[in-house]
């Protein structure tokens, strides 16, 4: 198991389908904030895994690279500086926790972290395990479609298993 510092009373508050995983106060929603709505393109292209203290943790299915997406559950946030200082810190903690998980579980040559927002303006951060053998190395994966989906289900299963173990919960089976 990859330690993510998710200890009750000390770590990130986690919920799964509305149920608390850690018995922590949920500080992610503040009075007066509008309800979080995920961009339709992110909803279509990614799979929900868990709600963290700040972000939705999502998987972007890819046949070659373990690829996670963190989406801060805040409305009208397009840039990192749109987050308040506490949310900026929490986002960085979530990014480093899950890049460490990708490195430990998948041993990529490099873990890329990116937040472009040129097409989907809602702030979201991509975490991608990269290999010298992947289809776009050393360039960016954005816009380079895989030649086939062969190996995708196996990679998704491995990714779900690693996330389940790290989060202490069962995430949906691939394809759900």
pLDDT in tens, 4-51: 443 333 344 333 344 433 332 333 334 344 688 999 999 999 999 999
SS3 31: coil
* Cβ count near 160 (within 10 Å): 19
Banded pLDDT at 142 (limits 50, 70, 90): confident
- What are the residue boundaries of the structural domains of the chain, listed by start? 15-137+147-167
List, in sequence order, every beta strand (DSSP E) within 9-160: 15-16, 19-20, 47-51, 55-59, 67-72, 110-114, 125-130
The per-residue pLDDT of the chain, averaged, comes to: 81
SS3 167: helix
Q: Choose the weakest-confidence range: 28-42, 75-89, 95-109.
A: 28-42
59 neighbors 67 (Cβ within 8 angstroms)? yes
Q: What angle separates helix 152-167 from helix 85-106, to the nearest 10 degrees?
A: 120
Find all residues with CB under 8 Å of 91, minimum gap 6, and list them: 54, 55, 70, 72, 80, 83, 125
List, in sequence order, every beta strand (DSSP E) within 2-156: 15-16, 19-20, 47-51, 55-59, 67-72, 110-114, 125-130
Is 100 a residue whose pLDDT tops 70? yes
State residue 170's pLDDT score: 54
Q: Which two tokens stand for residue 1?
A: 């198991």
Q: Give me the architecture of the 15-137+147-167 domain, per CATH.
A: 2-Layer Sandwich (3.30)
Task: Produce one character per residue of 11-38: b if its CB has 16 or more CB atoms within 10 Å, e if not.
Answer: bbbbbbeeeebbebeeebeeeeeeebeb
């Amino acid at each position: 198991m990859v330690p993510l510092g998710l200890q009750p009373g000390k770590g990130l508050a986690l919920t799964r389908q509305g149920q608390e995983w850690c018995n922590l106060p949920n500080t992610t929603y503040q009075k007066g904030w509008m309800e979080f709505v995920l961009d339709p393109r992110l909803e279509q292209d990614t799979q929900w895994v868990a709600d963290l203290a700040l972000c939705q943790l999502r998987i972007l299915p890819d046949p070659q690279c373990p690829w996670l997406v963190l989406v801060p559950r805040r409305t009208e946030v397009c840039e990192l500086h749109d987050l308040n200082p506490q949310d900026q810190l929490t986002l960085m903690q979530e990014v480093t926790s899950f890049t460490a998980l990708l490195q430990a579980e998948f041993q990529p040559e490099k873990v890329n972290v990116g937040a472009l927002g040129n097409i989907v303006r809602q702030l979201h951060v991509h975490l991608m395990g990269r290999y010298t053998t992947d289809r776009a190395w050393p360039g960016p994966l954005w816009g380079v479609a895989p030649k086939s989906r062969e190996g995708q289900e196996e990679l998704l299963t491995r990714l779900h298993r690693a996330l389940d173990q790290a989060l202490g919960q069962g995430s949906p089976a691939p394809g759900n």
